[in-house]
Amino acid sequence: MKLILLLRHAKSTWSQPGLDDHDRPLNARGERSAEAMADHIVRNAPRPDLILCSTATRTRQTLAPLVERLTVPAPPIALERGLYLASEEALLDRLRSLADDVGTVLLIGHNEGIGELAESLAGSGRANDLTALRIKYPTGTLALLRAPAMRWSDLAVRTAELLSFVRPRDLLRD
């Protein structure tokens, strides 16, 4: 069995014209969401054996509060340019290439790929979570999936169970 945490980066700013998309930082709302999601992951999700993160500024800033909260030593972190705006297929291929001693992985990336990957893997789960996943994968959202595969190379679409789908708005009450 493999556990997959798919986290879309938190809300980023568009207030700096001319800034390369890869370099856009989180806005204030995104920073609050990243903090809340980090707390949620530490309290309610399995500890990752490995963290895969896009090299984009907004994904690294989404990761930062979680790293601060994880017990030392933090799990290995791979910052990968190939995860930046990666497609569902590319993300699935990346998961399938993981070493089999990794039981739980956290992947921090971007839509559309991250949402499409979660939707394609989720073959079962609570009806309300599945419906929410299929409607929209908002910024800062975490999907937790359990896949029956014993080897990452065997990871297949529609075989995972969606255990939870948590949006920042579920954690933050303004």
CATH number at residue 157: 3.40.50.1240
- What pLDDT sits at residue 39? 96
Domain assignment present for 15: no
Residues 150-166: pLDDT tens digits?
A: 999 999 999 999 999 99
Domain assignment present for 93: yes
Token code pair at residue 152: 């990452």
Q: Encode 112-145: b = buried (16+ Cβ within 10 Å), e = exposed.
A: ebbbbbbbbbbbebeeebbebbeeebbbbbbbbb
Residues 33-78: pLDDT tens digits?
A: 999 999 999 999 999 999 999 999 999 999 999 999 998 888 999 9
Domain count, the chain: 1
CA–CA separation, 92 and 25 (whole Å): 26
Domain assignment present for 53: yes
Domain assignment present for 72: yes
Residues 6 or more apart in contact with residue 19 via CB below 8 angstroms? none
Domain assignment present for 123: yes
- Structural domain for 91, as ranges: 2-10+21-171
Domain assignment present for 35: yes
Res 14 pLDDT > 90:
no
pTM over 0.85: yes
Any idea what DSSP says for residue 83? G
Q: Give 11's pLDDT tier (boundaries 50, 70, 90).
A: very high
- What pLDDT sits at residue 116? 98
